Structure 1
Amino acid sequence: MSTLVVTAHPDPTSLTHHVAARLCERLTDRGEDVTTAHLAQEGFDPRFTATDRQAYLTGQGHPRDVLAEQERLDAAQHLVLVFPVYWWSMPALLKGWVDRVFVAPWAFAIDDGGRVVPAQQRLTVHLVPILGTAQGSFSRHGYAESFTTQVERGILDYCGVRRGATAFVHDAEDETRATGNAGLAVDTVVGAVVGTAVRG
């Protein structure tokens, strides 16, 4: 099975990168083919430009960097997004990556009746959001449901991808708790990826 792990954090010493590295190591040890994409280090441009807009309207003429990202995703069966939660959602870099890459006709299409036709049913997406908030507070104030609505339903379901594991790493500012939570998140995603491979 081929897995693409994508991060969106400018600091290579961050917990985000630590979790991604540990995840890649564990998956590789289990015989998985793993590729990483560190968007900040690669210099991905998240800005949705007039060129992107025109390509979105016509379904053709997408910028080369967008096509390259789509090709990288086409080579993967699993996509794992590891990212810090900023203001209860994805950071701008990752959101811009989604905005530019998950476009028609690659991610979805609109039929003659105006209905959305998902186009990425073959891809399984796993999420590892990392945040400083405790789990209880995140759920109690409605942020967890908001995240599910925006990211899981609004993006993943819209494109038809298979929902894999969503493994939050809470208490990121507390080193002891963060270490334990990160380990649990890695275990969850590795189990989901390898379990899918075993089930076929």
Structure 2
Amino acid sequence: MSIPPPHDPGNHGFDAEPRILVVTAHPAGASLTRAIATTIMQAAEINGCGTEVADLVAEGFDPVFGPADHAAFALGGVTPEDVRTEQRRIDRSDHLVLVYPVYWWAMPALLKGWIDRVFIAGWAFDEDADGDIAKRLDRLSISLVAVAGATRATYDRRGYREAMRVQIETGIFDFCGAPVVSSQLVTPDRMAEPSALDDIARTTLAQIVAR
């Protein structure tokens, strides 16, 4: 790994080092998804950022929005402790980086379930009696790295890339007020480039440092 740039200590806008939470969801111990996540974390640490990883598979996170989640959502019950643990992880982070394989032109069910359970009313957003939404995550920036099996031409021809943007970037993160500062689709043709891993990490980190 070669990385360097984007280190710019005079332009962080932070009182302390930026903290990055990298979330992955891939069932294989060795995968391109994990290699990308590791490279991003290494690059972040080289550039003076604090890092934490949430490997949802290794940690055995339960993605099912179950009765306790529904009671907390609909009846004002207690938020399940595993959900609060994830929310606290995000609360102590400035940036959230999601690195995930694309399954059926979307994120894996494990990662979507993590979002379903964690990004809930009262924490990610508020809704008043008139249905007006108050966004609560404007302090958090988002970087997305989607690892695809099909070529970019397929995504462009079928409109899958735009569908993912609307569903994930607008439907989830903009709804909560968290700006998506970078969104990369990693296709096999991109990974054919020798510097691909470093380039992906550099692109992710450049937008974090720029804030």
Aligned residues: 194
Gaps of 5+ in 1: none
Aligned to 2:153: 136
> What is the percent sequence identity of the aligned residues?
40
Aligned to 1:187: 202
Amino acid paired to 1:141: R
Whole-angstrom distance in 2 between the partners of 1:180 and 1:88 = 25
Gaps of 5+ in 2: 1-17
Aligned to 2:179: 162
Whole-angstrom distance in 1 between the partners of 2:97 and 2:193 = 19
Whole-angstrom distance in 1 between the partners of 2:91 and 2:29 = 26
Q: Are residues 133 and 116 of structure 1, via their aligned partners in 2, closer, same or farther at CA, if it must alter by over 3 Å? A: same
Q: Structure 1 residues 42-51 or 179-188, which shifts more?
A: 179-188
Q: Are residues 55 and 190 of structure 1, via their aligned partners in 2, closer, same or farther at CA, if it must alter by over 3 Å? A: same
Whole-angstrom distance in 2 between the partners of 1:176 and 1:166 = 16
Aligned to 1:123: 140
Whole-angstrom distance in 2 between the partners of 1:126 and 1:115 = 27
Q: Which structure shows the higher helix fraction?
A: 1
Whether the aligned pair in 2 keeps the contact of 1:169 and 1:182 (CA below 8 Å) is no
Whole-angstrom distance in 1 between the partners of 2:194 and 2:35 = 10
Whole-angstrom distance in 1 between the partners of 2:68 and 2:30 = 34
Greater relative contact order: 1 or 2 (C-alpha under 8 angstroms, separation 6 or more)?
2
Provide runs of 4+ in structure 1 moved above 6 Å.
Answer: none
Deviation (angstroms), 1:57: 1.2
Whether the aligned pair in 1 keeps the contact of 2:190 and 2:196 (CA below 8 Å) is no
Aligned to 1:84: 101
Deviation (angstroms), 1:60: 4.0
Deviations 1:147-172 (A, max 9, x none): 0110001001111112111011111x
Aligned to 1:153: 170
